[in-house]
Chains A and B, each alone.
Chain A
Amino acid sequence: MKRWLAAMLLGLSLAGVAQAAIDTYQFANEAERVRFRTLTQELRCPKCQNQDIADSNAPIAADLRREIFRMLGEGKSDPQIIEFMVDRYGDFVRYKPALSSRTALLWFGPAALLLGGVVMILLIVRRRRLAGANTPQDLSEAERARLAQLLDKEHP
């Protein structure tokens, strides 16, 4: 119960943080509004580098939001809009970088590391199992006596 309460309090405190900068844009339809939101969340603010442009209050982010809104109104497609941004600010502005030879490590690196880890664990487990199968299960008479003595010492 206490744990639930703590979790709820934590959740509530986070709700205040998850806010975006407020602009007033009139969208033609709901789909366009959703596209605007996705695009502004996928593009990174060049000035305040760890925020997306939906989240940032920097003047440049406001300019870029306005520009995206204008391009949406002109009927440009999402790839066209992203290309517009990349042409000016470089690949850096994309939170989801395009898949190319330069970004392949970025895309597949984590999966490769995970796979490597799994392979390692499997190898170790297999080796332990083989090693375990080879050790004699039964103790000799002398070992038994020693064991009994040790246990007795621990628990007199």
Chain B
Amino acid sequence: MKRWMLAIPLLLFLGTAVFLYRGLYLDPSELPSAMIGKPFPEFSLPTVQANRTLSRADLLGKPALVNVWGTWCVACRVEHPVLNKLAQQGVLIYGINYKDEDAAAEKWLTEFHNPYTLNIADAQGTLGLNLGVYGAPETFLIDAKGVIRYKHVGVIDDVVWREQLAHLYQGLVDEAKP
């Protein structure tokens, strides 16, 4: 047995330990989105107020947050005040009311205030499917040309906004300036 071979078990152990240690801090429920860098999918859906039909073209021109929400989603209620605050600060937010009823959604918006500039009613979840949505709330960051640049799964709170989304959004705003 050569001397260096004695070190093999130790090296194997250290390698495994490094992988397992990393695994402690990974969140398996967060999937890398396959949609980043792809254009926002085409759609033709009514607004929640059902007064007009929206398509992809309506979302273009300015960078925005596209927030997937539903009245059935408990975490969305936690997120809602944060979105209201962001909307007041001038952040452009579009909503996708995912697999919900329009009446319930309208009631929610009048009760809790409406941060959404436009609100797409995706009752069947078809747009959600094309976006790769697997639970609400999810928020996409799209640029002025309608390309998806970032996706956040889960509630946006003050910390998430400050540490992850704010500078990305600001970057897109700066990018859109001529």
Contact of A88 with B31 at beta-carbon distance under 8 Å, contacts A59-B99, A63-B125 already known: no
Contact of A89 with B130 at beta-carbon distance under 8 Å, contacts A59-B99, A60-B135 already known: no
Residues on the B chain within 8 Å of A90, using CB: 31-34, 132
Give the contact-size bracket for chain B. 10 to 19
Q: B28 near A: Cβ within 8 Å?
A: yes
Contact: A88 with B34, CB < 8 Å?
yes
Pick 20 A–B contacts, CB within 8 A, sort by A. Answer: A46-B31, A46-B134, A47-B134, A49-B28, A49-B29, A60-B133, A60-B134, A63-B125, A63-B129, A64-B129, A67-B129, A87-B34, A88-B34, A88-B35, A88-B132, A89-B31, A89-B132, A90-B132, A91-B34, A92-B31
Interface residues of B (CB under 8 A from A): 28-29, 31-35, 99, 125, 129-135
Q: CB < 8 Å: which of A86, A88, A91, A92 contacts B129?
A: A88
Q: What is the total of A-B residue contacts with beta carbons within 8 Å?
A: 35
Provide the A56-71 mask, 1 if CB < 8 A to any CB of B, else 0.
0001100110010000
Provide the A89-105 mask, 1 if CB < 8 A to any CB of B, else 0.
11110000000000000
- Nearest to A86 among chain B residues (CB) is B34
Shortest beta-carbon distance, B45 to chain A, in Å?
16
Residues on the A chain within 8 Å of B99, using CB: 59
Alpha-carbon distance between A46 and B31 when the two chains are bound, in angstroms: 8
Interface residues of A (CB under 8 A from B): 46-47, 49, 59-60, 63-64, 67, 86-92
Residues on the B chain within 8 Å of A59, using CB: 99
With A47-B134, A60-B135 known, 10 other A-B pairs at CB within 8 A are A49-B28, A49-B29, A60-B133, A64-B129, A88-B34, A88-B131, A89-B34, A89-B132, A90-B33, A92-B31
Residues on the B chain within 8 Å of A91, using CB: 34
Contact: A47 with B130, CB < 8 Å?
no
- Nearest to B31 among chain A residues (CB) is A92
Nearest first, the 7 closest Cβ-Cβ pairs linking A and B are A46-B134, A88-B132, A90-B34, A47-B134, A60-B134, A89-B132, A92-B31
Residues on the A chain within 8 Å of B134, using CB: 46-47, 60, 89
Residues on the B chain within 8 Å of A63, using CB: 125, 129
Residues on the A chain within 8 Å of B31, using CB: 46, 89-90, 92
Among A46, A47, A86, A89, residue most surrounded by chain B Cβ atoms (within 10 Å): A89
Alpha-carbon distance between A49 and B131 when the two chains are bound, in angstroms: 18
Alpha-carbon distance between A87 and B29 when the two chains are bound, in angstroms: 18
Residues on the B chain within 8 Å of A92, using CB: 31-32
Among A49, A59, A67, A88, residue most surrounded by chain B Cβ atoms (within 10 Å): A88
Residues on the A chain within 8 Å of B28, using CB: 49
Residues on the A chain within 8 Å of B135, using CB: 47, 60
Alpha-carbon distance between A92 and B29 when the two chains are bound, in angstroms: 11
- Nearest to B135 among chain A residues (CB) is A47
Residues on the A chain within 8 Å of B131, using CB: 88
